[in-house]
Structure 1
């Protein structure tokens, strides 16, 4: 029996899975173009440009109608590329920003008016590690009145140590990429069990994306983790492509990632919640 070809050996294709109407890619990025929206001077990586037109072309190929554009660290607190993309398609795009103490109430309102519904903080070691926690606390206090949430990008080893802090957050929180758990350690590993405990909370949302970050093609090892999260938190799980996959060592075809949804959410009801209803509720899309 021959194995399936790796994405690097095949051209990009349309997925076998047909997403429900109004499905949302709840985790994707736009990068640049650098000539218009320069990258941050202190960035940890420099991506290839992936402007809004490339994102729209991807979604047309996949059959996705909505998107949440997550500000990535390479653009720092300059959210203009993300805001420009949302303004291009304001009814179907929302955003998650990166902010700091320089953002006053007027600046936060401008982000909200531009379609932003949350802020993101990175704790991942290779991207610079944990933020200044005093700054983190001040930003969280500032966004409480906005009706926003905070997106947490964590390494698996940090889930248990940070769980107490996360539980005390006064705003809803979203865990990126299934907490970047190590699939080789199995679903009983303390990090994943701690993530499941968080996922049971009504203020916790988890993105069951990032299969290409925690497993190798064809990503079978990620399925038990994503499936467990959907079962524990059917109304607060989200899915996304992570396009254009910054810092990923091997190429990936997003069609392969979308096809995983058929296994992550086997029933039509589960797929409707994961791809349509849940992101619509969190990000204020009109159904």
Structure 2
């Protein structure tokens, strides 16, 4: 990790070693723009739609899934603006509470939103709660949306019964946040695996720097988790950059080209890499 390169909030200068196939999707990024409403007094820098476009040029990706940031809470003006500007090559994941109206859900659906995120891994910093997951899952199932869950491995195990009865598909953020010291040996891997086998879940191969005790550039402990998921269900995986890496302080942002290159080793074959970058996200998010 190092200071920003030509893309704000991303280290490094080089393009990825391997060119991505046409239609490649970054299935997890955030856009924060102080032009849009937020209760947060601290204004982000270098995290706008235009900044993200610079990352797309560097990586070669053509599709993107924008996940609503905590900065904008439940106001989706920034997200919908970005989806309009993507002009069909973007999809969105919103953040809502159970009081949302049917009309608002339909408005977001028309704007390109395809799921709701529940980032509940840190109870002290969450916009939503675990108790909100099931009632909202019932609301979004008929829209064909999914519930995107950012939970720690222990939380996944503790709430396995809840996850199994949700009426919509589930997308697990950041490889399920399994403890790096245990990786696939942690009980959450089996819980996720059962849902994958039933065709009810997907996993994002994202956030290697969140799933490591060893660190850059190879993140071998995170890689062991990623390869285990590839071996289990390559048809249920997508890749994401997690740009602009809001958990990481300035001067310590990861190199997004390095993060993308990790997929070469994780996937083991170009056909699998293509599936993760192109075919799977096209199915999950409804890209034409």
TM-score by length of 1: 0.90
Which residue number in structure 2 is paired with residue 24 of structure 1? 25
Which residue number in structure 1 is paired with residue 257 of structure 2? 255
Q: Structure 2 matches for 1:196-211, cutoff 5 A?
A: 196-211=193-208
Which residue number in structure 2 is paired with residue 58 of structure 1? 55
Which residue number in structure 1 is paired with residue 240 of structure 2? 240
Q: Residue 136 of structure 1: CA displacement? A: 3.0
Confirm whether residue 193 of structure 1 aligns to residue 185 of structure 2: no
CA distance in 2, matches of 1:183, 1:189: 9
Which residue number in structure 2 is paired with residue 3 of structure 1? none
1:185-208 Cα offsets, whole Å, 9 max, x none, are 243122333333333230100001
Q: Given the alignment, which residue of 95, 99, 102 partners 1:98?
A: 95
CA distance in 2, matches of 1:233, 1:46: 40
Question: Could you list the runs of 5+ residues in structure 1 that have no partner in the other structure?
Answer: 1-5
Which residue number in structure 1 is paired with residue 275 of structure 2? 273
CA distance in 2, matches of 1:268, 1:58: 22
Q: Tell me the secondary structure at the aligned position of residue 137 of structure 1.
A: helix
1:224-279 Cα offsets, whole Å, 9 max, x none, are 11011122111111100000011125321100000001011121210111000000
CA distance in 2, matches of 1:127, 1:49: 26
Q: Residue 137 of structure 1: CA displacement? A: 2.8
Change (3 A) 1:126 1:213: farther
TM-score by length of 2: 0.89
Which residue number in structure 1 is paired with residue 140 of structure 2? 143
Q: Given the alignment, which residue of 150, 154, 176 partners 2:151?
A: 154
1:162-211 Cα offsets, whole Å, 9 max, x none, are 11110110000100001112212243122333333333230100001111
Q: Tell me the secondary structure at the aligned position of residue 94 of structure 1.
A: strand
CA distance in 1, matches of 2:124, 2:279: 32
Change (3 A) 1:8 1:182: farther
CA contact (8 A) 1:47 1:246 kept: no
Which residue number in structure 2 is paired with residue 40 of structure 1? 39
CA distance in 1, matches of 2:244, 2:54: 12
Change (3 A) 1:186 1:121: closer
Which residue number in structure 1 is paired with residue 7 of structure 2? none
Deviates more, 1:209-218 or 1:95-104: 95-104
Q: Tell me the secondary structure at the aligned position of residue 234 of structure 2.
A: coil
Which residue number in structure 1 is paired with residue 105 of structure 2? 108
Deviates more, 1:79-88 or 1:126-135: 126-135
Q: State the aligned residue count.
A: 277
Deviates more, 1:65-74 or 1:195-204: 195-204
CA distance in 1, matches of 2:105, 2:183: 41
